[in-house]
Structure 1
Amino acid sequence: MSLSFSFGTAAFAAGMTEAEIREKIIGHTIYLEAPMGGEFPLNYRTSGVVDGDGKALGIGKLIQPSDTGKWWIADDKLCQQFNTWYKGAKMCFDLTATGADKVKWVRDNGESGVARIGN
């Protein structure tokens, strides 16, 4: 089973650069708005590890509730690959800042959404 948060498709202003991604995203917890309500936290650690935990959303009934993987930046896109989620597929995201602590994201498959930048 795969974990997917789909929010439709949208056109965005200029995306974030690698430097902006490193400044605003890396070392922070990013909270994806979940379609069923609540937020889904992803931690982009400075070590290159990304981890997420959906226990608070109750997704453990659908998929493994937490996972760890790796992140990297390529062509001004934030990329990630989890060990189990998405069957270990690599994916990249165009990010656009929409405020001091908000970003819009568009995944390379066209899915899009919004997220809040935490500490």
Structure 2
Amino acid sequence: MRVTSIVSGIFVVLAGSSSLAQSLAGDALSEAIAGRTVYLATPLGGEFPLNYRKDGVVDGSGDAVGLGRFMQPKDSGRWWVDGAKLCQKWRTWYDGKAFCFTVASLGGDKIAWVRDDGLKGTARIAK
């Protein structure tokens, strides 16, 4: 449980104004994510990279933000799109629980996300 709280805390960054945000869903969401690295913004200004491979595998590394002190710094899992939501399930992070997110484009390479438990943040997608 402590690991989940620590990782959740790292991702807590309030999303910017979403009045101009365009929701991504279905094929548009898959195309925006597949084969790309998503860099989650962290509260202290760092970025947490998640590599969404085209084969449905997602790889994450918390090395850059110092997660090794609190938990396993790297993990892999599965990702998929379920209608209007991006879902992922890690092998060890979050105790292997699946989470889903709504994702909205903020323009350019920026996105806002809201996890199904209400946690939200921003990220950039590397092309």
Q: Same fold (TM over 0.5)?
A: yes
Counterparts of 1:34 and 1:10, CA distance in 2: 14
Aligned residue number for residue 30 of structure 1:
38
Residue 84 of structure 2 corresponds to: 76
CA distance in 2, matches of 1:62, 1:54: 10
Name the CA distance, whole Å, in 2 between partners of 1:65 and 1:71.
Answer: 19
- 1:9 CA displacement: 7.1
- What residue in structure 1 maps to residue 102 of structure 2? 94
Amino acid at match of 2:97: A
Distance in 2, matches of 1:35 and 1:55, equals 16
Do 2:15 and 2:122's aligned partners in 1 also have CA atoms closer than 8 Å? no
1:36-69 deviation digits (Å, cap 9, x = unpaired): 2210000110001001001111110011100000
- Which residue is equivalent to 1:64? 72
d(CA) in 1 for partners of 2:126 and 2:71? 25
TM-score, length-scaled by structure 1: 0.92
Name the SS for the 2:24 alignment partner: coil
Identity %: 47
Q: Following the alignment from structure 2 to structure 1, what is the Cα–Cα distance between the partners of residues 75 and 113?
A: 20
Structure 2: any 5+ residue segments left out of the alignment?
none
Whichever structure has more helix as a proportion of its residues is 2
Matching residue of 1:40: 48
Contact 2:16–2:112 (Cα < 8 Å) also in 1: no
Q: State how many pairs are aligned.
A: 119
**1:7 aligned residue:** 13
Return 5+ residue gaps in structure 1 as ranges: none
The answer to whether the 8 Å contact 1:9/1:110 transfers is: no
* Letter aligned with residue 65 of structure 1: P
What per-residue deviation string (whole Å, max 9, x for no partner) do you get for residues 45-99 of structure 1? 0001001001111110011100000001112100000001011111000000001
Give TM-score scaled by structure 2 length. Answer: 0.87
Hey, which bits of structure 1, 4+ residues long, moved more than 6 A? none
